[in-house]
Chain A
């Protein structure tokens, strides 16, 4: 009986490892194919049957990619938007979340319900009127519409942080009140330092949201000098007339580098956030 159980376990383990290996190959195939294409000369890209690896590593496609679009400039533009956005978004979301977590006031539950509703519902409806509003303010071809709304907090971050703040013990805050500290001082000097990991998590989410966003950037930014990396990649083929797969794969590889680094070095923060709330940002 016991022996059979052990044998079953081994079979199961072998099958699962096979599943992991096969699954991983499928997951990594797009990136393998992207990088392999990026390093191939045209003669090796357009062959049947395909060549899995370039015969020698060939840098031409990267050179060409940087000529077609200023990749570094576009990545810096994206970072610029993200940096200006994240500080405000994290700070204000924390402020609002603290209000929801620690105070009682009239209509609080109703406000929170509205907040939850805004997390899922009216984006497509508000998109065009908001665009028209920014156009009338003369700010449509600028980063302002992408950055400024963040300074009023983001519903999903507020939701997450409220949950996080509610798990903290109140004793320290109470003793600071006794010592005459104001609530804002408590928030600034106690809560913010204490919850750094959670703030880092939402900061990373905010960065990722900015880096991977296409629709918002597409709507507001027209001037190619202001393009972000997503817009640069999306317009790559129209810049070259026909699709140059080699340079395009080279550009995509470079554009993905920052998020690959995030995956490798900051995964634990993303995952912690999910474990806390069951939401993925």
Chain B
């Protein structure tokens, strides 16, 4: 057997999996989105009716608003938080390893349990957050029970989890050549100038990566929203809405149409961000 054929054999399992679990479902999804399938019974072809129904459904716009608003605020907040923490722990002070572990924690310790704990923290009467505010003489809001405070509740959780991305930034910081800083010192630059003119530009590739990942994960947010909910449908994120349509009401066709819309949104945003890349992301000239 030729070496190239053997190489293909090595990747064959993935190719088969790709066909079974990606190509085939995508083709099926094109059809299902045009049916009124509900798992039981027959599916009949209804053309673009699902899409028409979606665009006439106020809940859809609400879910889109909840998710989009969260994305616009949470993505920059988490990127800035993670960056600041990384800049803060990018040294070899005594005990730094312990602090790094603590900041990194949310990327390992997450899931349903953490969401439940946040629900308890945000409890208006007995929660620890409002008690802390009371120490400062403030009366905290009702958080998840007040429609106006649901979004801030989710943002608090997002910021708490932000430093989980710490090591990506630390690795990028470590890769910045020392000579750049040394040269800047000789030229009399202060630390703020060094951050502005060396660190930030050199970090733009990783900021770009985190922006794309942030968009994808914000629009796919599910676990926290499923557990926490929120008053006045303010906690119905897009994926929660999709999940309800598919697995509570068994509207498979409708939910698949929703999935296609989400896909187009994520793809579109990714392409837009990718288009802006050349204006702000540093690329090493070779």
Contacts and interface: CB of A to CB of B under 8 A. Distances in A.
Interface of A: 13, 16-17, 19-20, 23-24, 26-31, 33-34, 37, 45-50, 92, 95-96, 98-100, 102-106, 108, 111, 114-115, 118, 120-133, 135, 149, 151-153, 155, 158, 183, 187, 208, 211-215, 218-219, 230, 233-234, 236, 245, 248-249, 252-253, 255-256, 259-260, 262-264, 267, 270-271, 274-275, 278-280
Q: Which 8 A-B pairs have the closest CB atoms?
A: A152-B17, A103-B7, A99-B10, A212-B111, A129-B25, A126-B25, A129-B28, A99-B11
Contacts of B11: 96, 99-100, 108, 111
B72 interface: no
Contacts of A278: 168, 171-172, 206, 209
A19 B88 CA distance: 8
A118 B22 contact: yes
B103 A27 contact: yes
A110 to B, nearest CB: 11
Contact of B109 (A105, A111, A121, A263): A263
Given A48-B131, A129-B24, A256-B114, 4 more contacts: A27-B160, A120-B216, A152-B13, A208-B108
The size class of the interface chain B forms with chain A is 35 or more
B252 A48 contact: no
Contacts of B113: 233, 252-253, 255-256
B267 interface: yes
Interface of B is mostly: helix
A105 B8 contact: yes
Contacts of A133: 24-25, 28
Interface string B147-164: 000000000000010011
A122 B262 CA distance: 10
A267 B109 CA distance: 11
B99 A34 contact: no
Contact of B117 (A45, A135, A230, A252): A252
A29 to B, nearest CB: 7
Contact of B103 (A17, A23, A34, A49): A23
B109 A125 contact: no
Nearest to A255: B113
B99 A23 contact: yes
B48 interface: no
B262 A124 contact: yes
A255 B113 CA distance: 7
Interface in B65-113: 85, 88-89, 91, 93, 95-96, 99, 101-113
16 contacts: A23-B103, A27-B106, A28-B102, A30-B121, A33-B121, A37-B120, A45-B126, A105-B8, A122-B25, A132-B28, A211-B111, A245-B123, A252-B116, A260-B109, A267-B101, A275-B167
Contacts of B163: 23, 27
A189 B53 CA distance: 58
Nearest to A96: B14
Nearest to A262: B108
Nearest to A28: B102
A98 to B, nearest CB: 6
B116 A233 contact: yes
A121 B14 contact: no
Contacts of B6: 103, 183
B256 A129 contact: yes
Contact of B165 (A24, A149, A263, A280): A280
Interface centre among B37, B104, B174, B260 (most CB of A within 10 A): B104
Interface stretch (B56-64, B192-200, B239-247, B276-284): B239-247
A129 B93 contact: no
B37 to A, nearest CB: 8
Contacts of A213: 111
A280 B106 CA distance: 12
Contacts of B13: 92, 95-96, 151-153
A26 to B, nearest CB: 7
A13 B93 contact: yes
Contacts of A131: 246
